[in-house]
Structure 1
Amino acid sequence: MSQRTAPTLDDVARAAGVSRATASRVVNGVVPVSQPAAEAVRRAVEMLGYRPNTAARALVTRRVGAVVVLVPETEERVFSDPFFPRAYHGALEAFRHTGIHVLLSMAHPHDGVDPMLAFFLSDHADGAIVISHHGHDFARAVAASSRPVVFVGNPGVPGLAYVDVDQLKASATATRHLIERGAGTIGSVTGPMDMAAGVERLRGFQQELAEAGRSGHLIAEGDFTFAGGEAAAYDLLSHHPGIDALFVASDLMASGAIRAAERLGRRVPDDLLIVGFDDSVVATQSIPTLTTMENRPDVLARTAGQMLLEKLNGTEPESPVILPSRLVQRESA
């Protein structure tokens, strides 16, 4: 009785009705092929149960068949903020049906970002999506490798590809909404000032107030966490009890700001209007629910993944890609 042999690439090509070269291109993802041919090859692969020889494929393509999502944040931060799971899901969606694995790498509290950089600079990944970086050093180090990389958020380094929401316009819209709701004295809990999102959201807030003839100096810096938002809002409201509205640069921090207001005997929205940022699950679970600016991490990361795919296929994507945001009105304002 003869042993059944594993299906070969030639078998796949015959079943799909394409040349071996075309089947190889689809399986290896080296050069794009027509959609009908690609679908025929994928059906044949599934029908025959074909499994490519990854070692041989790596020799041919000089790739390992994996990309990595680099998040220069601690595990505690990544797993406590709904932004990051949604972003990783978006990255997975971008590489669905490509045969490319999507890895996740984050910083350890005691080791910092050096192990992440070492991993990326090794031969374990063909490219990277970077999410939530601080300062410019990390971006410069990743860029120096000359490996394909796309950032979610402005890396602040010329020439690097990135996708972002229109931070300036979105924060201006949030501030204008508070003005239109009749707020007299508006403060802001900002994001970290070593992140582009933190800086741009503060700029939009201050520019909108300046256009309305108001001062934008009532601010406290937060860190995009619940505890950080609570502490910053408590400090700001304690020192400036006349504040009757807050623009808070993330939903997690806005939820913390509600807690701070309660500690000070302030009711939201009766005594204090609050607008957050992200339109995350936190916004719908908060009591009261949060008025917030839309910021889709899944769309951002999926777009970054599509841009990275273009780079892996030898073309340079359009950059930057700037996505719009919209105000989502709920109970807090």
Structure 2
Amino acid sequence: MKRLTLEEIGRIAGVSRSTVSRVINDHPNIRPAVRQRVEDVIRQTGYQPNSAARSLASRQSRVFGLVMPSILQSAFADPYYPLVIQAISHACNQHDYTPALFLFQTPEEEEKMSQRIVASGLIDGLIITADTINSTFVSKIQQYDIPFVQIGRPPTSNAASISYVDVDNEAGAYLAASHLVQLGYRRIGQLATAHNTAGADRDAGYRHALGDRGLEVDEALVKVSDFSEAGGYQAMQALLDQQPEAIFAQSDAIALGAVRAIRDRGLRVPDDIAVVGFDDMPLAANADPPLTTVRQPINRTGMLAVETLIDIVRTTPEPARHIVLPVELVIRASSGAVY
């Protein structure tokens, strides 16, 4: 099949070659009726713009980089990250951008890659997950004026100047812990993470919920885990000797590891120990027992991160955008509320 030229597209649409080029490159000063006519011809003929030429004309690559955790194992041990990648990839495709994934194992690799990103000019902007934020990386990106959006709240010292999309982690943990208190549990433990703001916010929600209901936090019932099932299993093993009645786990993966550790000790969920997670991953509803958890809108988070970055790339500088999405408690059998 012959590849149409811009001149041929223009002749069919009744406009000049330059008008077709401006429509393809999303130039703002095009009358809506003309834009629609050209887009209709492009769609009807199946015309595919030359990506390289389009990038040269617009000085944009239409590539967004996705920067994942510096702790590389986290990107594969926690089911949250594959879902984030999927959501961002889908949103990029919807807006005619190509996602490029950057994985780092050490701070040194992260620094070298940031220099390559800056030097290459191959991306229009970055989406950075919360685990990767450190002052060196962010200051390097900001120094060279590369647009970026973070998924997850940055540390307090950086938050005001950084656009981010997050969920209300503190409110979600508050819902989870309050649910356990309302069911009559008093020795409520937590399997917590310590390396990012999501973990800190969820810890705050857990503590506020207990405090608001007149319960003191027993630090012996709080154990540190990473966001993986293996981490949850190990942390729960350490916690079992403290005889908790219920557990709030800061992720579904942690919660499933905790359930396995409880069973390996010869105990039952929720009869002996109730468990609540956070995320509502697809595996939560199919767990045995089905997992009570806090649902966060991962697909919407990815979509808003991409759309926010597109706005930043296309518009003049403006104040940083802070988007915090609501969460909801999904009650299933693992907390003892339903059977």
Q: Shared fold by TM > 0.5?
A: yes
1:330 CA drift (Å): 1.0
Q: Measured at CA, do residues 113 and 19 of structure 1 come closer, stay the same or move farther in structure 2, by a change above 3 Å? A: same
Q: Measured at CA, do residues 323 and 179 of structure 1 come closer, stay the same or move farther in structure 2, by a change above 3 Å? A: same
List gaps (5 residues or longer) in structure 1: none
Residue correspondence of structure 1 range 311-326 to structure 2 within 5 A: 311-315=312-316, 316=318, 319-326=321-328
Identity of aligned residues (%): 31
TM-score (norm 1): 0.88
- More divergent stretch after superposition (112-121 vs 290-299): 112-121
1:329 CA drift (Å): 0.9
Residue correspondence of structure 1 range 35-50 to structure 2 within 5 A: 40-50=37-47
Q: Measured at CA, do residues 71 and 282 of structure 1 come closer, stay the same or move farther in structure 2, by a change above 3 Å? A: same
- C-alpha contact (below 8 Å) 1:82/1:281 kept by paired residues: no
Question: Counterparts of 2:53 and 2:94 in 1: how far apart (Å)?
Answer: 20
Question: Counterparts of 1:22 and 1:229 in 2: how far apart (Å)?
Answer: 58
Aligned to 2:304: 303
Aligned to 2:179: 177
CA RMSD of aligned residues (A): 2.6
Residue correspondence of structure 1 range 73-222 to structure 2 within 5 A: 73=70, 76-108=73-105, 112-121=109-118, 122-137=120-135, 138-156=137-155, 157=158, 158-191=160-193, 193-216=194-217, 217=219, 218-222=221-225
Secondary structure of the equivalent of 2:93? coil
List gaps (5 residues or longer) in structure 2: none
Q: Measured at CA, do residues 30 and 305 of structure 1 come closer, stay the same or move farther in structure 2, by a change above 3 Å? A: farther
- More divergent stretch after superposition (58-67 vs 157-166): 58-67
Q: Measured at CA, do residues 16 and 204 of structure 1 come closer, stay the same or move farther in structure 2, by a change above 3 Å? A: farther
Tell me the matched-pair count: 327
Question: Counterparts of 1:36 and 1:77 in 2: how far apart (Å)?
Answer: 49
Secondary structure of the equivalent of 1:130? strand
1:134 CA drift (Å): 4.2
Residue type at the aligned position of 2:125: G
1:220 CA drift (Å): 1.0
Question: Counterparts of 1:264 and 1:46 in 2: how far apart (Å)?
Answer: 62
Aligned to 2:55: 58
1:67 aligns with 2:64: yes
Please state which structure has a larger fraction of its residues in helix.
Answer: 2
Secondary structure of the equivalent of 1:289? coil
1:27 CA drift (Å): 2.0
Question: Counterparts of 1:48 and 1:23 in 2: how far apart (Å)?
Answer: 14
Aligned to 2:234: 231
Question: Counterparts of 1:50 and 1:104 in 2: how far apart (Å)?
Answer: 28
